[in-house]
Structure 1
């Protein structure tokens, strides 16, 4: 007997068990799946360049290697620029640490005089909080080490995926029934367009936000404004959450290095304006993804991605859920889930429509009588 013929509680139990097993498998195989997931997205991004080189009569292997070399050069330039800024920051770290200690001592004294909480009690609370956060720190360190592993595996995976592209596509077509080939073609085509437009748009958006952040911080006189502005732009890749975290860095730096609070206020106002421009101008016009995910689902998915795969999971969550929405929109039984993920808000809910339909039927039946 088929599952769909079973009572609802059996169907729901089977679905929940399948989801738990699926998520557990993703968690246990993270070291293998994370590099593969990043490789899929970047292989799709580099595929147009590789195809163009092949149309110029360049051999397939050489075309893929040139595409990878171009990508590595761009990434190398970005890391070189950031590393020079980080080195300058490291030279001033002892002085910043000393000033931060003085600011922290003043805050503790203010809390003690205002709220009556002794400094020793505050130190104990901080110590307990640090002890409780060791597991979080270990998870973050694991995410960083995992990210380093991704960096070394990515070029190999991307090369192999581009090389075996035809084999992989043929497998996806053959694994489904022939009558579903049209839907498979639509899903693959829209997935490619969505991922390409999402990643390219995201890179352009990140560059513009980094320029705006850095310009604002330099004009306000915040030390290491270029480095902090670039870090803020990278954090901005995490929807809705990264922007909130990014603002804490320049505010903290201004607090440590400057007297008064005018600079901190200027930083907060500048970042609010930048976030407004980013959310209302850059994202709609530049990050022109073919699939729009609503704000609530974006936040939930990013947090779930962090719980599942840490930092890489946060970056992978949005394009992954975009691909899921494309699939949901093509399958009749899953279309409600696709609508739930989307950002199209209905003006009326189905309950009102059903009640109005029931009233109309009642009126018609009375009229016939």
Structure 2
């Protein structure tokens, strides 16, 4: 057994480039686990810089100076962010408060409907089973409510952190865009000379992450906007709040669409009951989800490396458990990173220098 492990170790890590890649991965993971919360503003700034780098490069190609292009894009980004914050956040907050206030009424209506089941189906549903289920659910809801209240009080402490994001993040984004090549050269000088695999993985992940961030932001905006317009036209209550939730649900592949269906269906059922209006809304919502999965995603992520749905779900659960929201956001790029690392380790320097002679 030890000899098998020894042969595997010599085959994979006798190459200095492979050893350097392993050391870099271990160091990066340790930094994120130990100081992830501390350096989170830097990571957020890097995400925004990735998003804005594409239009900056387009402006530079037509002859605009990089510093001026970065300034224009930063002003445009801040203006859009302020417009969303002033126009969208108050509406979402107000509708969230109204929905929370009406939640007891929705729950009471749901209980009244469930209590009618023993009369309609006496052979299948017993009244004592209904009461036991209701008691258990009420206890769980009380616990969830206490957790939400404690979380809301603790979030007041994060006001200082919000100010840090609002002031420091835009500054870091501007400097990351303006002095991009300076930072890349500095990082390159810090890396060891044995970096063939590091460079290979870096080039692949750079394209993947840039494509993923741009595509995911565009997908959120399109799906969220179409959902808001559809819900408003169909006169659904809390239309803006539910539309925003549908837009954000695309962050979590497969799972997000299933989870956000619950509040949409509950609000629609509370508003209309099991009526044609309810089914019209659910049909429209299903069309939005189908167009997103079968048309929008293939168009936006055509350059992304395809991953099996099971790997994506495992990546969402694993990285989301580690780093919360940002772990979910970067679940697919991180899964792609794992795949790129495995591919790089599986290749050997001889295979790259001397490709198969039988290949056309």
State the partner residue of 1:357.
Answer: none
Q: Secondary structure at the match of 1:32?
A: coil
CA distance in 1, matches of 2:200, 2:28: 25
State the partner residue of 1:117.
Answer: 129
Q: Provide closer, same or farther for how the CA distance between residues 142 and 287 of structure 1 changes in structure 2, counting only shifts above 3 A.
A: farther
Q: For this pair of structures, how many residues does the alignment match? A: 330
State the partner residue of 2:355.
Answer: none
Displaced runs of 4+ in structure 1, greater than 6 A? 18-22, 132-144
State the partner residue of 2:173.
Answer: 158
Per-residue deviation, 1:74: 2.1
Q: Contact (CA 8 Å) 1:99, 1:256: kept in 2 or not?
A: no
CA distance in 2, matches of 1:304, 1:163: 35
Q: Contact (CA 8 Å) 1:231, 1:246: kept in 2 or not?
A: yes
Q: Provide closer, same or farther for how the CA distance between residues 293 and 72 of structure 1 changes in structure 2, counting only shifts above 3 A.
A: farther
State the partner residue of 1:207.
Answer: 221
Q: Provide closer, same or farther for how the CA distance between residues 75 and 81 of structure 1 changes in structure 2, counting only shifts above 3 A.
A: same
Give the alignment's Cα RMSD to 1 decimal.
4.5
2:83 is equivalent to residue 69 of structure 1: no
State the partner residue of 1:197.
Answer: 211
Q: Provide closer, same or farther for how the CA distance between residues 292 and 5 of structure 1 changes in structure 2, counting only shifts above 3 A.
A: closer
Q: Secondary structure at the match of 2:38?
A: helix
State the partner residue of 1:256.
Answer: 270
Structure 2 unmatched runs, 5+: 13-21, 120-124, 349-360
CA distance in 1, matches of 2:192, 2:340: 19
Per-residue deviation, 1:244: 0.8
* 1:298 aligned to which of 305, 308, 312: 312
- TM-score calculated relative to the size of structure 2: 0.71
Q: Provide closer, same or farther for how the CA distance between residues 142 and 243 of structure 1 changes in structure 2, counting only shifts above 3 A.
A: farther
* 1:238 aligned to which of 226, 235, 252: 252
Structure 1 unmatched runs, 5+: 335-369
Alignment of 1:1-369 (within 5 A): 6=6, 26-51=32-57, 56=63, 58=65, 60=67, 63-86=69-92, 89=95, 92-93=98-99, 96-97=102-103, 99-107=105-113, 109-110=115-116, 114-115=125-126, 116-117=128-129, 119=131, 122-123=134-135, 125-128=137-140, 130-131=142-143, 145=158, 148=162, 151-152=165-166, 153-176=168-191, 178=193, 180=195, 187-332=201-346
CA distance in 1, matches of 2:235, 2:180: 50
CA distance in 2, matches of 1:247, 1:240: 11
Q: Deviations over 1:316-357 (max 9, x none)?
A: 2223333444454444359xxxxxxxxxxxxxxxxxxxxxxx
Per-residue deviation, 1:100: 1.6
Q: Secondary structure at the match of 1:117?
A: helix
- TM-score calculated relative to the size of structure 1: 0.70
Higher-RCO chain (CA-CA 8 Å, sequence separation at least 6) = 2
